[in-house]
Structure 1
Amino acid sequence: MATRKIPMRKDILTNKMYPKREMVRIVKDKEGNVSIDPTGKKPGRGAYVGLDPEAIKNAKSKKSLEKVFSHAVPETFYDELFDFVDHQKARMDLFGDLGKKH
């Protein structure tokens, strides 16, 4: 059986490459709303962050997402993103790669 290529994406906060399944997509839509995109299919300008809650804390203090999207990002979004990433990381640690088919 041939091995499949693993899609990689760059983490906008750390500039490191990770498998797409181990990342969270963030989207800015036409209206300028920034949101978490768990499906990876929302329309708009997308960027990826890794499952590192500490990187999210640093991004909040440096306002990194505002620089990436050239748009104001509410403080509450950073908290929402932190909670989502922390939850996803815990699930990954507990269950391993959830997207892997057996």
Structure 2
Amino acid sequence: MTVAKKEPLRKCVVTQEMFPKKDLIRIVRNKDGETFIDDSGKMNGRGAYLSRSKEVVEKAKKSNILQRHLNTSIDSSLYDDLMEKVGE
């Protein structure tokens, strides 16, 4: 009998809903204070997860939730990149 591997769940910082890790976008702040999108999901640093939807990205931008969660200022170009990602 084989046991199916449990899929890791993560919480979207905007909606507070749990999703499988691969269904979310991870934003990372590294130890140098740089913030970027982590496509691999394995980079070192403080991470925050967002649902893949335009509404969630807009809400995150409006409420500065990533700034609070990652404890750093977020460049508006990151939100532009996020919008491109969810538009795929």
> Does TM, normalized by the shorter one, top 0.5?
yes
Task: Give 2:57's aligned residue.
Answer: 56
Post-superposition Cα deviations, 1:30-84, rounded to whole Å, max 9, x if no partner, equal 1111100000121111111111111101111111111111111011111111111
Rounded to whole Å, the distance in 1 between the matches of 2:44 and 2:17 is 24
Q: What is the correspondence of 1:21-40 to structure 2 with a 5 Å cutoff?
A: 21-40=22-41
**Larger radius of gyration between Structure 1 and Structure 2:** 1
Matches of 2:30 and 2:5, distance apart in 1:
32
Residue type at the aligned position of 1:15: Q
2:87 corresponds to which letter in structure 1? D
TM-score by length of 1: 0.78
* Bigger relative CO (Cα 8 Å, ≥ 6 apart): 2
In the TM superposition, 1:22-101 aligns within 5 A as 22-87=23-88
Larger helix percent:
1
TM-score, reference length from structure 2? 0.89
Aligned residues, how many? Answer: 87
Q: Give the AA of the match of 2:34.
A: N
Contact kept? 2:29, 2:45, Cα under 8 Å: yes
Q: Percent identity among equivalent residues?
A: 34
Unpaired stretches in structure 2, ≥5 consecutive residues: none
What RMSD over aligned residues (CA atoms) do the two structures have, in Å? 1.2
Distance in 2 separating the partners of 1:6 and 1:43: 21
Q: Secondary structure at the match of 2:87?
A: helix
In the alignment, the residues of structure 1 paired with residue 37 and residue 60 of structure 2 have an alpha-carbon distance, to the nearest angstrom, of: 15
Aligned counterparts of 1:86 and 1:27: Cα–Cα separation in 2: 20
